[in-house]
């Protein structure tokens, strides 16, 4: 069961704990990918807080948000880069993405294998993915008041197995969130110091989240006997021409039960 977009937005953009978590994970992601200049970058789940540095240099940036979670306009101050999608049916052409970040996507999915197969489909051969998942042995997975307390936490071995089974070769791994999940100023004053210490000490046992980078090296296995159709990218991801019709979700209209909110951060 995916988390509600309002809860995720409020955590990452309005709470001090969420902003500290955002910075810690974004620093680790930047260490993996110092430059994304000219690349197509996508995020699935609620990866928008980590994608902001990519907006400046990447060829395109897309925040894919699952329908069960809801969608919000992102970034708040500029043209929208987010789109509501089915969890295992993304409006992207096969072999079209160079970099993919998954945050709050796998651990709350009821079909993680199908989700990973879809990720493999849209990534080019040689493209990179980073999965960010709650660490089964960390403190953050045991606290319900944060987004990392919902869903299934993973061990490093489980993450690597999930990737290898779907056509990826694991490149490297890291961890983040070494400070306790407490939204108190007295703790947060030490957050970055604890984060830096954690990177040098017990990285994979004490960290609240695991970050695993992998390269797509082969097509993900597909069930035999199924007629798999090539998906065509939706026009909503193309730039809107001057004077052209705006997509309904850009006007703030609602479709069905899908939630569309504006990002306040």
Q: Distance between CA atoms of 184 and 194, rounded to whole angstroms?
A: 15
Residue 105 lies in a domain: yes
Distances (CA, A) of 197 to 191, 201, 206, 260: 10, 6, 11, 39
Q: How many domains does the chain fold into?
A: 1
Residue in 146, 130, 132, 131 with CA at minimum distance from that of residue 176? 132
What CATH number did the domain enclosing 161 receive? 3.40.50.150
Residue-wise pLDDT for 110-132, tens only, equals: 999 999 999 999 999 999 999 99
pLDDT at position 80 over 80:
yes
Q: Which residue has the higher pLDDT, 87 or 235?
A: 87
162: its two tokens: 């999930």
The residue segments making up the domain with residue 34 are: 5-220+247-262
What is the chain's length? Answer: 265
CA angle 39, 44, 48 (to 5 degrees): 75
Question: Looking at residues 68-83, what average pLDDT do you find?
Answer: 96
CA 162 from centre of chain? 16
Residue 96 lies in a domain: yes
Please report the pLDDT score of residue 191 as a whole number: 77
pLDDT at position 50 over 80:
yes
CB pairs under 8 A, 24+ apart, for 238-247? none
- pLDDT band, very low/low/confident/very high, at 235 (cuts 50, 70, 90): very low
Distances (CA, A) of 125 to 76, 92, 96, 139, 168: 33, 15, 10, 36, 9
């Amino acid at each position: 069961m995916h988390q509600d977009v309002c809860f995720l937005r409020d955590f990452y953009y309005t709470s001090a704990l969420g902003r500290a978590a955002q910075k810690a994970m974004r620093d680790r992601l930047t260490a993996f990918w110092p430059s994304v200049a000219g690349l197509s970058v996508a995020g699935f789940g609620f990866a928008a807080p980590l994608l902001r540095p990519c907006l400046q240099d990447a060829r395109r940036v897309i925040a894919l948000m699952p329908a069960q979670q809801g969608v919000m306009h992102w970034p708040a101050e500029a043209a929208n880069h987010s789109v509501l999608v089915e969890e295992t049916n993304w409006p992207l052409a096969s072999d079209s993405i160079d970099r993919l970040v998954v945050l709050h996507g796998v651990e709350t999915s009821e079909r993680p294998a199908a989700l990973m197969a879809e990720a493999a489909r849209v990534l080019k051969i040689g493209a990179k993915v980073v999965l960010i998942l709650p660490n089964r042995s960390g403190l953050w997975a045991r606290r319900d008041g944060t987004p990392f307390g919902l869903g299934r936490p993973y061990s490093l071995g489980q993450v690597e197995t999930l990737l290898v089974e779907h056509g990826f070769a694991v490149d490297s791994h890291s961890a983040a969130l070494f400070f306790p999940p407490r939204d108190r100023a007295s703790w947060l004053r030490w957050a970055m110091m604890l984060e830096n210490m954690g990177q040098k000490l017990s990285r994979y046992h004490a960290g609240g989240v695991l970050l695993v980078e992998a390269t797509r090296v082969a097509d993900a296995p597909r069930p035999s006997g199924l007629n798999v159709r090539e998906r065509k990218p939706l026009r909503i991801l193309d730039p809107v021409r001057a004077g052209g019709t705006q997509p309904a979700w850009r006007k703030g209209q609602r479709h069905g039960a899908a939630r569309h909110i504006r990002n306040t951060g």
